[in-house]
Structure 1
Amino acid sequence: METLITENNKPLEKVGFKKKRKVKEETVFGYLFLLPTIGAFIVFSLVPTLAVFVLSLFQWDLIRPPVFLGLENYVQIFSSQDFWHSLWVTIKYVFYSQTPKLLIALLLALCLNKSLPGIRAFRIPIILPWIAMPIAVATVWRWILDPMTGLLNYYLSKIGIPGITWFSPSNTLQSIALVDVWQHFGFTTILFLVGLQSIPTMYYEAAEIDGARRFKAFWHITLPLLKPTILFILITSLIGSFQVFDIVYATTHGGPGDLSRVYYYMIYEKAFNSLQMGYASGLSVILFTILMILTLIQLRVFRDNDTN
């Protein structure tokens, strides 16, 4: 039986063996390059997450040895009025912050997507607040919104508008949401802008030929093709809003009373003020479960809409 010869006069079996060997070597080197990232993920993400799940079954005050309680922490959490109150406060905060932020960001992205002279110069300034540290942003806004010496009330008085007590019981959550909207609307705008620029212009040209008006083109072309971007923004924004802490800590410390005591601030209080590490871990596990369920619901809703 004759040996098959390739174009370079080499046996076909040897060529195949070399190719397989090269593929294996590339695979090994690929995993070697991934090792630092995988190691960092395991050490800084996976292990702490598993530790929180385990710690939620114990009572631990950082001083005495942990005491196994089983599901007792979860029973106490769900029977606690503080838990339900902080969860409701967080839900209201998510509504106050996400609704205006998404609308403002979408409108700005539509404006920045126009072919106007100098329009690109506005893309950099709007993202600058997002780059700043959240605790620094919250501290500056606390000074701006101060009812007595704040700059905002000062300029409002110049135009005849009486001063507003921004962190009063009726305005606290809205004021905190205002700070969040100011800091994050620029980044959300850039995400919307990227989604808009990925839509082929031929769809709009065809709609214009058919006589479709701008609103119809927006409703039937822009929004459907923006669904992946909207889904990404909704998921990340929802997770970030449920984990709000910096703004509350720097402005109100959960007050007045407990009207701005959001869920994450409650975890902080239980862990570092009351030293109830097991209880705080249980709160974290519940928050993780809530966010996972909400994410799955959003994915399911968008998938069903795409199917329809």
Structure 2
Amino acid sequence: MTRIPAVSTLERRTAPEPVPVSAAPPPGRRRHRRWAGVAFIAPLVTYLVVFYAYPLVENVSMSLHRFTRATYVTGEAPFAGTDIYREVLTAPQFWPIVQQTAVFVVGSLVFQYVIGLALATYFHRHFPLSVLLRGLFLVPWLLPIIVSATTWQWMMDADSGIVNRFLGAFGIDPVWWLSADNSLWAVMIANIWLGIPFNLVILYSGLQNISAELYEAAALDGAGPWRRFWSITFPLLRPVSAITLLLGFVYTLKVVDIIWIMTAGAGSSQTLATWAYGMAFGKGTSAVIEYSQASVVGTILLLVALLMGLVYLAVQRKEQEA
């Protein structure tokens, strides 16, 4: 007869208790959770559909139909297919405006990023009054666009503008900033001034995430300031720089307000965005309302922005794989 060993009182006390198996929630509770999830996501989906998807579909639809003032009201615009795209792409002013847009966007991005990165690196040192000075650099970002554009328009006045007075102190002749030939450089300078605070804030936040131990180790190895910048700061800021340039590109590509207030899109300051605005509302150099042509230009701008977004995603995926 086999003897069963007795279980001591201590073993009985310390023995783990069986974990109760949680029962599945009843169907009513699962249904309640599902509807709660739908209620939370419904406002976001509604917002995206109403303010993004619907206008996008309407814009593409208008670019495929020949809309006039009469057909816009009645909604009976005839279908034109790709004829309107062909008219816009073959227009004599299309490619010059594309070139002006490229100069405006690329020039603004380069100077905004370089100056913003230099200021972010400078303020990263935490010297006295750095917080106050960094806050003052945000003033252009906080001012209404109409105030900033009007101020720059006054400053660049050929006769009484402070910019020409400053240049005159060095013996430089007055520059007609707002003329047809120089208007592109005038609006670009104003747009750079507006975009520097955005680059400063984003890049400064990126610098905060870089460990100070890396700079200390590099300094112990004898690396100077420039060596530390190119070997530590710039490479580690690459993800932040990529999203900063992407957002800056999308914003600069669709800039209308500051250009329209300063020059009304005249001369070399005409971009694709101001061209579409002028055709849609019959203002500036376009005296005739052309809804369909404006929609074509808007669709082109959307495709360019989408292409840049895809390039950004491809670069990010490649860096993650590497």
Distance 1:196 1:248 in 2: 32
Cα-Cα RMSD: 2.5
Residue from 179, 196, 200 that aligns with 1:185: 196
One-letter code of the match for 2:112? Answer: K
Q: 1:24 to 1:10 in 2, by over 3 A?
A: farther
Distance 1:300 1:104 in 2: 27
Counting only pairs closer than 5 Å after superposition, residues 92-103 of structure 1 correspond to structure 2 as 92-103=103-114
Q: Which residue of 2 aligns with 1:17?
A: 25
TM superposition shift of 1:284: 1.1
Distance 1:302 1:36 in 2: 30
TM superposition shift of 1:166: 1.4
Cα deviations by residue, 1:190-235 (Å, 9 ceiling, x for unpaired): 1110000011222222222322222222112111111111011111
Counting only pairs closer than 5 Å after superposition, residues 18-97 of structure 1 correspond to structure 2 as 25-26=32-33, 28-64=35-71, 65-97=76-108
Distance 1:253 1:71 in 2: 29
Unpaired segments of 5 or more residues in structure 1?
A: 1-6
Identical-residue share of aligned pairs (%): 27
Counting only pairs closer than 5 Å after superposition, residues 172-251 of structure 1 correspond to structure 2 as 172-251=183-262
Return 212-221 or 106-115, whichever deviates more. Answer: 212-221
Q: Is the 8 A contact 1:231 1:299 kept in 2?
A: no
Q: 1:82 to 1:218 in 2, by over 3 A?
A: same
Q: Which residue of 1 aligns with 2:274?
A: 265
Q: 1:166 to 1:282 in 2, by over 3 A?
A: same
Q: Which residue of 2 aligns with 1:3?
A: none
Distance 1:159 1:76 in 2: 49
- Secondary structure, counterpart of 2:122 in structure 1: helix
One-letter code of the match for 1:286? Answer: I
Q: Which residue of 2 aligns with 1:4?
A: none
Unpaired segments of 5 or more residues in structure 2?
A: 1-15, 283-287
Counting only pairs closer than 5 Å after superposition, residues 102-113 of structure 1 correspond to structure 2 as 102-113=113-124
Distance 2:146 2:266 in 1: 17
- Secondary structure, counterpart of 1:67 in structure 2: coil
Cα deviations by residue, 1:122-155 (Å, 9 ceiling, x for unpaired): 1211112112222331112111111112233234
Distance 2:162 2:219 in 1: 48
Residue from 298, 304, 310 that aligns with 1:284: 298
Q: 1:42 to 1:176 in 2, by over 3 A?
A: same
Q: Is the 8 A contact 1:142 1:251 kept in 2?
A: yes
TM superposition shift of 1:249: 0.8
Distance 1:170 1:27 in 2: 61
Q: Which residue of 1 aligns with 2:158?
A: 147
TM superposition shift of 1:120: 1.2
Which of 1 and 2 has higher RCO (CA within 8 Å, sep 6+)? Answer: 1
TM superposition shift of 1:271: 1.5
